[in-house]
């Protein structure tokens, strides 16, 4: 019997992050080699309409696609893994973006030898400015990592880390976009309190965030030096930073990221 012909990728779970990845891959390669498997019929129809991709069930995903990208919630992952187990083999590559869920747990739910790559992406993938961080499971080869990296590079930058760092990475780049959105929300509210119209305050802070991000990426200077360049002696910035320090914003950030890390570890456990 000849080996099954499998091409391309199946996105399993077309929610927020599944759609971000799907959109980038379709933008790069077209819809022909991408299929989607989504529990909600309404959502599946929406994705099919928006991206021109075919909707399949889990067995169809495994028979059609070589790469199975699992983008369901950590709490929901046992169901698709159980259903896929009878349909996957060592010629597949399973890529999971589920926070906290270890490659060992995924491997244990599948037949022996199936390669698994764990990825922590983030939502700026929607605008091709994502940060995806990959780790290999026990059966994933360098070629499997290269393949996963090739897919994720459609939506932004890609880095590799040992899996032991993935829960920490989740607290940094996985949840990270939300910290910046939160800061902008707070700064816009403060601007309104100072008398600036809300819409203008939003425009000023979004452009300021973008300008600051591009400087951090492109100037070759670290954030400390960039901040020093904004801080005139005895000026407005120094007055503001003194207040941030007085309110222990650094301490709050450390506590927030420790909580994200702890929750990632917890999500990977049996209670999710």
Ligand X SMILES: NC(=O)C1=CN([C@@H]2O[C@H](COP(=O)(O)OP(=O)(O)OC[C@H]3O[C@@H](n4cnc5c(N)ncnc54)[C@H](O)[C@@H]3O)[C@@H](O)[C@H]2O)C=CC1
Supply the minimum distance, in Å, between the C-beta of residue 170 and ligand A1CAB.
5
Ranked by CB distance to ligand X, the top (closest) residue is: 15
Of 87-106, binders to ligand A1CAB (CB under 6 A) are 99
Least separation in angstroms between residue 134's CB and ligand X is 13
- Token pair belonging to 250: 């650094």
Determine the Cα–Cα distance for residues 102 and 120; give it in Å rounded to an integer: 11
* Contact between 14 and ligand A1CAB per CB under 6 A: no
* Beta bridge mates, 70: 12, 96
Does position 175 interact with ligand A1CAB (CB under 6 A)? The reply is yes
Look at residue 233 and give its three-state secondary structure: coil
CB 99 within 8 A of CB 15: no
* Closest distance of CB 204 from ligand X, Å: 26
Contacted entry of ligand X, ligand A1CAB, none for residue 72, CB cut-off 5 to 8 Å set by kind: ligand X
Q: Which of 9, 22, 106, 120 binds ligand X (CB under 6 A)?
A: 120
| Distance of alpha carbon 134 from alpha carbon 118, whole angstroms | 6
User: Could you say whether residue 74 binds ligand X (CB under 6 A)?
Assistant: yes
CA atoms within 13 A on the CB side of 193: 6
Q: Which of 98, 122, 171, 142 is CA-nearest to residue 24?
A: 122
Which one among 33, 54, 76, 128 touches ligand X, defined by CB under 6 A? 76
**Under 8 Å between Cβ of 170 and 100:** yes
Q: Which of 9, 35, 95, 97 binds ligand X (CB under 6 A)?
A: 97
> Which position among 25, 69, 81, 122 is part of the footprint of ligand X (CB under 6 A)?
122
Looking at 174, 188, 201, 205, which residue binds ligand A1CAB (CB under 6 A)?
A: 174
Residues 196-235, buried b or exposed e (16+ Cβ, 10 A)?
A: beeeebbeebeeeeeeeeeeeeeeeeeeeeeeeeeeeeee
Q: Helix crossing, 142-152 with 16-29: angle to 10°?
A: 90
55-77 burial by CB neighbour count: b if 16+ within 10 A, else e? Answer: bbebeebbebbbbbbbbbebeeb
CA nearest to 11, candidates 24, 28, 1, 2? 24
Number of other CB atoms surrounding residue 266 within 10 Å: 14
Residue 40 interface partner, choices ligand X, ligand A1CAB, none, CB cut-off 5-8 Å depending on type: ligand X
* 14 part of the interface to ligand X, by CB under 6 A: yes
Closer CB to ligand X, 24 or 74, in the complex: 74
Question: Among 123, 151, 176, 188, which residue interacts with ligand X (rule: CB under 6 A)?
Answer: 123
- The piece of 35-43, 160-168, 217-225, 240-248 that touches ligand X (CB under 6 A) is 35-43
The reply on whether position 198 binds ligand X by CB under 6 A is: no
Copy the structure tokens of residue 8.
Answer: 């391309």
Determine if 72 is a binding residue for ligand X (CB under 6 A): yes
What residues are designated binding site?
Answer: 71-74
Q: Which residues bind ligand X (CB under 6 A)?
A: 12-18, 37-40, 43, 71-74, 76, 79-80, 97-99, 120-123, 174
Q: Which residues bind ligand A1CAB (CB under 6 A)?
A: 99, 170, 174-175
């Amino acid at each position: 019997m000849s080996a099954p012909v499998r091409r391309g990728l199946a996105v399993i779970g077309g929610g927020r992050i599944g759609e971000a990845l799907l959109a980038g891959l379709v933008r790069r390669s077209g819809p022909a080699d991408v299929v989607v498997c989504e529990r909600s019929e309404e959502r599946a129809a929406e994705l099919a309409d928006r991206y021109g991709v075919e909707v399949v069930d889990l067995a169809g995903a495994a028979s059609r696609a070589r790469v199975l990208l699992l983008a369901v919630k950590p709490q929901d992952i046992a169901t698709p893994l159980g259903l896929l187990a009878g349909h996957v083999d060592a010629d597949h590559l399973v890529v999971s973006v589920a926070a906290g869920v270890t490659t060992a747990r995924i491997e244990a739910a599948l037949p022996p030898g199936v390669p698994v790559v764990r990825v922590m992406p983030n939502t700026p993938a929607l605008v091709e400015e994502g940060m995806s961080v990959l780790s290999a499971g026990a059966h994933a080869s360098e070629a499997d990592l290269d393949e996963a990296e090739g897919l994720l590079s459609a939506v932004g930058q890609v880095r590799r880390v040992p899996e032991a760092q993935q829960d920490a990475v989740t607290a940094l780049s996985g949840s990270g976009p939300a910290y910046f959105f939160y800061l902008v929300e707070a700064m816009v509210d403060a601007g309104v309190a100072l008398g600036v119209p809300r819409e203008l305050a939003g425009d000023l802070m979004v452009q300021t965030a973008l300008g600051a991000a591009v400087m951090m990426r492109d100037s070759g200077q670290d954030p400390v030096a960039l901040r020093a360049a904004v801080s005139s002696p005895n000026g407005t910035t120094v007055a503001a930073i003194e207040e941030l320090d007085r309110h222990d914003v650094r301490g709050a950030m450390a506590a927030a990221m420790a909580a994200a890390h702890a929750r990632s570890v917890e999500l990977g456990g049996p209670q999710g």
